[in-house]
Protein backbone atom coordinates (compact mmCIF):
# COMPACT_ATOMS: atom_id res chain seq x y z
CA UNK A 1 0.00 0.00 0.00
CA UNK A 2 1.26 3.45 -0.95
CA UNK A 3 1.14 4.91 2.55
CA UNK A 4 3.40 2.21 3.96
CA UNK A 5 5.93 1.74 1.14
CA UNK A 6 8.77 3.61 2.86
CA UNK A 7 7.96 1.97 6.19
CA UNK A 8 8.43 -1.45 4.63
CA UNK A 9 11.73 -0.41 3.04
CA UNK A 10 12.96 0.42 6.54
CA UNK A 11 11.86 -2.83 8.17
CA UNK A 12 8.60 -1.54 9.65
CA UNK A 13 5.08 -2.76 8.98
CA UNK A 14 1.74 -0.99 8.81
CA UNK A 15 -1.98 -1.50 8.27
CA UNK A 16 -4.93 0.84 7.89
CA UNK A 17 -8.55 0.77 9.01
CA UNK A 18 -11.48 3.15 8.61
CA UNK A 19 -12.40 5.58 11.39
CA UNK A 20 -15.87 4.05 11.11
CA UNK A 21 -14.63 1.30 13.44
CA UNK A 22 -14.08 3.62 16.42
CA UNK A 23 -17.28 2.51 18.14
CA UNK A 24 -16.39 -1.15 17.61
CA UNK A 25 -12.97 -0.56 19.18
CA UNK A 26 -14.64 1.11 22.16
CA UNK A 27 -17.16 -1.70 22.49
CA UNK A 28 -14.44 -4.35 22.47
CA UNK A 29 -12.93 -2.79 25.59
CA UNK A 30 -16.16 -1.74 27.30
CA UNK A 31 -17.89 -5.10 26.82
CA UNK A 32 -15.07 -6.80 28.72
CA UNK A 33 -15.45 -4.27 31.50
CA UNK A 34 -19.21 -4.91 31.74
CA UNK A 35 -18.52 -8.64 31.97
CA UNK A 36 -16.20 -8.04 34.93
CA UNK A 37 -13.09 -9.22 33.09
CA UNK A 38 -11.04 -6.21 34.19
CA UNK A 39 -9.92 -5.39 37.70
CA UNK A 40 -11.71 -2.10 38.44
CA UNK A 41 -8.60 -0.26 39.68
CA UNK A 42 -6.65 -1.30 36.60
CA UNK A 43 -9.55 -0.29 34.37
CA UNK A 44 -9.75 3.19 35.90
CA UNK A 45 -5.97 3.72 35.85
CA UNK A 46 -5.18 2.34 32.40
CA UNK A 47 -8.24 1.85 30.20
CA UNK A 48 -10.27 5.02 30.67
CA UNK A 49 -7.81 7.38 28.97
CA UNK A 50 -8.54 6.28 25.39
CA UNK A 51 -10.24 8.78 23.08
CA UNK A 52 -12.65 7.01 20.74
CA UNK A 53 -13.31 9.99 18.48
CA UNK A 54 -11.70 11.97 15.70
CA UNK A 55 -9.18 14.49 17.06
CA UNK A 56 -10.21 18.14 17.22
CA UNK A 57 -7.18 18.97 15.10
CA UNK A 58 -8.27 16.63 12.32
CA UNK A 59 -12.07 16.48 12.00
CA UNK A 60 -11.64 15.26 8.41
CA UNK A 61 -9.84 12.08 9.53
CA UNK A 62 -10.81 9.12 7.35
CA UNK A 63 -8.43 6.41 8.53
CA UNK A 64 -6.36 5.08 11.40
CA UNK A 65 -2.87 3.89 10.49
CA UNK A 66 -1.25 1.43 12.91
CA UNK A 67 2.46 0.71 12.61
CA UNK A 68 4.89 -1.76 14.19
CA UNK A 69 8.52 -0.70 14.55
CA UNK A 70 10.97 -3.50 15.52
CA UNK A 71 12.74 -2.70 18.77
CA UNK A 72 15.35 -4.58 20.84
CA UNK A 73 15.71 -5.16 24.54
CA UNK A 74 17.64 -2.31 26.16
CA UNK A 75 20.50 -3.06 28.58
CA UNK A 76 21.59 -0.60 31.28
CA UNK A 77 24.49 -1.14 33.67
CA UNK A 78 24.42 -0.23 37.36
CA UNK A 79 27.55 -0.36 39.52
CA UNK A 80 26.77 -1.34 43.10
CA UNK A 81 28.97 -2.59 45.94
CA UNK A 82 31.80 -3.61 43.65
CA UNK A 83 29.57 -5.45 41.19
CA UNK A 84 28.15 -4.55 37.80
CA UNK A 85 24.48 -5.38 37.23
CA UNK A 86 23.32 -5.45 33.60
CA UNK A 87 19.60 -4.78 33.87
CA UNK A 88 17.06 -4.60 31.08
CA UNK A 89 14.15 -2.63 29.70
CA UNK A 90 11.83 -4.69 27.50
CA UNK A 91 11.11 -3.52 23.95
CA UNK A 92 8.68 -0.53 23.77
CA UNK A 93 9.99 1.45 26.76
CA UNK A 94 12.32 3.80 24.96
CA UNK A 95 12.35 6.39 22.15
CA UNK A 96 8.55 6.51 21.80
CA UNK A 97 8.49 10.20 20.82
CA UNK A 98 11.36 9.68 18.41
CA UNK A 99 9.68 6.59 16.92
CA UNK A 100 6.35 8.37 16.42
CA UNK A 101 8.14 11.21 14.63
CA UNK A 102 10.11 8.72 12.53
CA UNK A 103 6.97 6.81 11.53
CA UNK A 104 5.08 9.95 10.54
CA UNK A 105 8.04 11.09 8.47
CA UNK A 106 8.20 7.83 6.56
CA UNK A 107 4.46 7.82 5.82
CA UNK A 108 4.56 11.41 4.60
CA UNK A 109 7.56 10.58 2.42
CA UNK A 110 5.64 7.70 0.84
CA UNK A 111 2.76 9.99 -0.10
CA UNK A 112 4.71 12.89 -1.61
CA UNK A 113 3.95 15.21 -3.36
CA UNK A 114 0.52 14.88 -1.78
CA UNK A 115 0.23 16.26 1.73
CA UNK A 116 -1.73 14.41 4.42
CA UNK A 117 -1.98 15.04 8.15
CA UNK A 118 -1.14 12.56 10.91
CA UNK A 119 -2.17 12.95 14.56
CA UNK A 120 -1.29 10.34 17.18
CA UNK A 121 -4.29 8.24 18.16
CA UNK A 122 -4.84 7.64 21.87
CA UNK A 123 -6.40 4.24 21.38
CA UNK A 124 -5.70 0.62 22.47
CA UNK A 125 -2.92 -0.05 19.98
CA UNK A 126 -2.78 -3.82 20.52
CA UNK A 127 -6.47 -4.02 19.64
CA UNK A 128 -5.83 -1.91 16.53
CA UNK A 129 -2.85 -4.04 15.50
CA UNK A 130 -4.72 -7.33 15.83
CA UNK A 131 -7.95 -6.02 14.32
CA UNK A 132 -6.06 -4.69 11.29
CA UNK A 133 -4.18 -7.96 10.74
CA UNK A 134 -0.83 -6.33 11.53
CA UNK A 135 -0.32 -8.59 14.55
CA UNK A 136 -1.65 -11.71 16.26
CA UNK A 137 -2.39 -12.13 19.96
CA UNK A 138 -0.27 -14.44 22.06
CA UNK A 139 -1.74 -16.27 25.05
CA UNK A 140 0.09 -13.70 27.18
CA UNK A 141 -2.06 -10.97 25.52
CA UNK A 142 1.02 -9.47 23.90
CA UNK A 143 0.93 -8.69 20.18
CA UNK A 144 3.26 -10.56 17.83
CA UNK A 145 4.42 -9.61 14.35
CA UNK A 146 6.25 -11.73 11.73
CA UNK A 147 10.01 -12.13 12.18
CA UNK A 148 10.27 -9.93 15.30
CA UNK A 149 7.72 -11.60 17.57
CA UNK A 150 6.93 -9.32 20.51
CA UNK A 151 10.06 -7.22 19.98
CA UNK A 152 8.35 -4.16 18.52
CA UNK A 153 6.64 -0.91 19.40
CA UNK A 154 3.18 -0.03 18.12
CA UNK A 155 2.11 3.46 17.05
CA UNK A 156 -1.26 4.62 15.71
CA UNK A 157 -2.30 7.80 13.90
CA UNK A 158 -5.47 9.42 12.70
CA UNK A 159 -5.03 10.61 9.13
CA UNK A 160 -7.04 12.23 6.36
CA UNK A 161 -5.52 9.71 3.92
CA UNK A 162 -8.52 7.88 2.36
CA UNK A 163 -9.11 4.31 3.51
CA UNK A 164 -9.61 2.70 0.12
CA UNK A 165 -8.68 -0.73 1.49
CA UNK A 166 -10.11 -1.19 4.97
CA UNK A 167 -8.13 -3.99 6.64
CA UNK A 168 -10.46 -4.49 9.62
CA UNK A 169 -10.89 -8.15 10.55
CA UNK A 170 -11.67 -10.52 13.39
CA UNK A 171 -8.89 -10.85 16.00
CA UNK A 172 -6.68 -13.91 15.72
CA UNK A 173 -4.24 -15.65 18.01
CA UNK A 174 -0.93 -17.32 17.26
CA UNK A 175 -1.63 -20.84 16.00
CA UNK A 176 0.64 -22.62 18.49
CA UNK A 177 -1.03 -20.86 21.43
CA UNK A 178 -4.00 -23.22 21.08
CA UNK A 179 -1.96 -26.04 22.59
CA UNK A 180 1.10 -24.36 24.12
CA UNK A 181 1.11 -23.57 27.84
CA UNK A 182 4.74 -22.51 28.30
CA UNK A 183 3.91 -18.93 29.29
CA UNK A 184 1.14 -20.09 31.64
CA UNK A 185 3.61 -22.25 33.54
CA UNK A 186 6.37 -19.62 33.47
CA UNK A 187 4.40 -16.64 34.84
CA UNK A 188 5.23 -16.56 38.58
CA UNK A 189 2.40 -14.14 39.40
CA UNK A 190 -0.36 -16.26 37.89
CA UNK A 191 -1.39 -13.51 35.49
CA UNK A 192 -1.71 -15.96 32.56
CA UNK A 193 -4.28 -18.63 33.32
CA UNK A 194 -5.83 -21.74 31.83
CA UNK A 195 -9.45 -20.71 32.39
CA UNK A 196 -9.45 -17.67 30.10
CA UNK A 197 -7.44 -16.19 27.25
CA UNK A 198 -7.49 -12.62 28.64
CA UNK A 199 -4.77 -12.35 31.27
CA UNK A 200 -5.36 -11.12 34.81
CA UNK A 201 -3.51 -7.89 34.14
CA UNK A 202 -3.85 -6.70 37.74
CA UNK A 203 -1.43 -9.51 38.71
CA UNK A 204 1.06 -8.80 35.93
CA UNK A 205 4.45 -7.52 37.08
CA UNK A 206 4.38 -5.00 34.24
CA UNK A 207 1.27 -3.31 35.66
CA UNK A 208 2.63 -3.43 39.20
CA UNK A 209 6.07 -2.01 38.49
CA UNK A 210 4.87 0.79 36.22
CA UNK A 211 3.31 2.46 39.24
CA UNK A 212 5.16 5.40 40.88
CA UNK A 213 7.49 4.81 43.80
CA UNK A 214 4.95 5.76 46.50
CA UNK A 215 3.00 2.57 45.65
CA UNK A 216 4.35 -0.45 47.49
CA UNK A 217 4.43 -3.85 45.83
CA UNK A 218 1.72 -6.20 47.15
CA UNK A 219 2.94 -8.60 49.81
CA UNK A 220 2.38 -11.61 47.53
CA UNK A 221 5.02 -10.38 45.03
CA UNK A 222 8.27 -12.29 45.56
CA UNK A 223 11.28 -9.95 45.05
CA UNK A 224 12.96 -12.75 43.10
CA UNK A 225 10.34 -12.39 40.36
CA UNK A 226 11.68 -9.01 39.25
CA UNK A 227 13.63 -9.31 36.02
CA UNK A 228 13.45 -5.86 34.40
CA UNK A 229 13.71 -2.27 35.65
CA UNK A 230 10.22 -1.72 34.27
CA UNK A 231 7.92 -4.31 32.75
CA UNK A 232 8.53 -8.04 32.68
CA UNK A 233 10.18 -10.35 30.16
CA UNK A 234 9.44 -13.77 31.69
CA UNK A 235 6.65 -14.83 29.32
CA UNK A 236 8.41 -13.27 26.31
CA UNK A 237 11.68 -15.07 27.03
CA UNK A 238 10.08 -18.52 27.08
CA UNK A 239 7.80 -17.93 24.09
CA UNK A 240 8.77 -20.05 21.04
CA UNK A 241 7.78 -17.19 18.72
CA UNK A 242 10.61 -15.07 20.14
CA UNK A 243 13.41 -17.60 19.80
CA UNK A 244 15.06 -15.74 16.90
CA UNK A 245 15.10 -12.32 18.60
CA UNK A 246 15.92 -13.13 22.24
CA UNK A 247 19.57 -12.18 21.81
CA UNK A 248 18.71 -8.86 20.13
CA UNK A 249 19.69 -6.12 22.57
CA UNK A 250 21.27 -2.69 22.71
CA UNK A 251 23.45 -1.16 25.44
CA UNK A 252 22.08 2.27 26.30
CA UNK A 253 23.63 3.58 29.49
CA UNK A 254 25.69 3.11 32.63
CA UNK A 255 25.37 4.41 36.18
CA UNK A 256 28.40 4.50 38.49
CA UNK A 257 28.37 3.54 42.18
CA UNK A 258 27.59 7.06 43.37
CA UNK A 259 24.72 7.49 40.90
CA UNK A 260 23.24 4.10 41.82
CA UNK A 261 23.41 4.96 45.52
CA UNK A 262 21.59 8.24 44.79
CA UNK A 263 18.81 6.39 42.95
CA UNK A 264 18.44 3.85 45.74
CA UNK A 265 18.20 6.60 48.37
CA UNK A 266 15.12 8.02 46.66
CA UNK A 267 15.52 11.62 47.80
CA UNK A 268 15.30 13.66 44.63
CA UNK A 269 15.39 17.44 44.55
CA UNK A 270 17.29 20.36 43.15
CA UNK A 271 19.91 20.51 40.45
CA UNK A 272 21.18 16.98 40.97
CA UNK A 273 17.71 15.52 40.48
CA UNK A 274 17.31 17.50 37.26
CA UNK A 275 20.66 16.23 35.98
CA UNK A 276 19.84 12.64 36.90
CA UNK A 277 16.39 12.99 35.35
CA UNK A 278 17.98 14.02 32.07
CA UNK A 279 20.32 11.02 32.09
CA UNK A 280 17.46 8.64 32.87
CA UNK A 281 15.31 10.13 30.13
CA UNK A 282 17.96 9.24 27.56
CA UNK A 283 17.60 5.57 28.47
CA UNK A 284 13.81 5.56 28.68
CA UNK A 285 13.44 5.93 32.46
CA UNK A 286 12.45 8.60 34.98
CA UNK A 287 12.85 9.25 38.70
CA UNK A 288 9.32 8.11 39.56
CA UNK A 289 10.50 4.49 39.31
CA UNK A 290 13.27 4.74 41.89
CA UNK A 291 14.18 3.38 44.34
CA UNK A 292 11.12 1.14 44.18
CA UNK A 293 12.03 -0.88 41.10
CA UNK A 294 15.80 -0.87 41.47
CA UNK A 295 16.14 -2.24 45.00
CA UNK A 296 14.90 -5.80 44.36
CA UNK A 297 17.15 -6.04 41.32
CA UNK A 298 20.32 -5.27 43.27
CA UNK A 299 19.74 -7.31 46.43
Residue 56: the pLDDT is 95
Residue 71 and residue 74: Cα distance in Å, rounded? Answer: 9
SS3 2: helix
What is the DSSP secondary structure assignment for residue 94, as one 8-state letter?
S
Residue 157 Rama label (left phi>0; alpha psi -120 to 50; beta): beta
Residue 196: the pLDDT is 84
Residue 130: the pLDDT is 97
Average pLDDT score, the chain: 95
Residue 214: the pLDDT is 84
Residue 7 and residue 13: Cα distance in Å, rounded? Answer: 6
Q: What is the average pLDDT across 262-279?
A: 94
Q: What is the average pLDDT across 126-154?
A: 96
Residue 1: the pLDDT is 81
% residues pLDDT > 90 (the chain) = 90
Residues ≥6 apart with Cβ < 8 Å to 175 = none
Residue 195: the pLDDT is 84
| pTM of the model as a whole | 0.93
- Tens of pLDDT, residue by residue over 168-210, are 999 999 999 989 999 999 999 999 998 888 999 999 999 999 9
Please say whether the beta carbons of 25 and 123 come within 8 A.
yes
Residue 289 has pLDDT above 90, yes or no: no
Residues ≥6 apart with Cβ < 8 Å to 241 = 138, 144, 149, 150, 174, 176
Q: What is the average pLDDT across 36-56?
A: 95
Compute, in degrees rounded to 10, the torsion defined by CA atoms 242, 95, 153, 50.
Answer: 140
SS3 63: strand
Residue 197: the pLDDT is 85
Residue 239 and residue 140: Cα distance in Å, rounded? Answer: 9
Amino acid sequence: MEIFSDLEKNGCMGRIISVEHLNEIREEIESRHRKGLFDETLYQEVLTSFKYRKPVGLPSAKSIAVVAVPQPTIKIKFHWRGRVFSLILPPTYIDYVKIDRYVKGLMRQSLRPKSYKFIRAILPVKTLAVRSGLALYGRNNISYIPKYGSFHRLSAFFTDYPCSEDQWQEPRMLPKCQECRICVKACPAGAITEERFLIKAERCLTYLNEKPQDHQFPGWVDPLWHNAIVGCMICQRVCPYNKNVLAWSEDRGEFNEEETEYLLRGEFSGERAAKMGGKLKRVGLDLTLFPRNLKPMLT
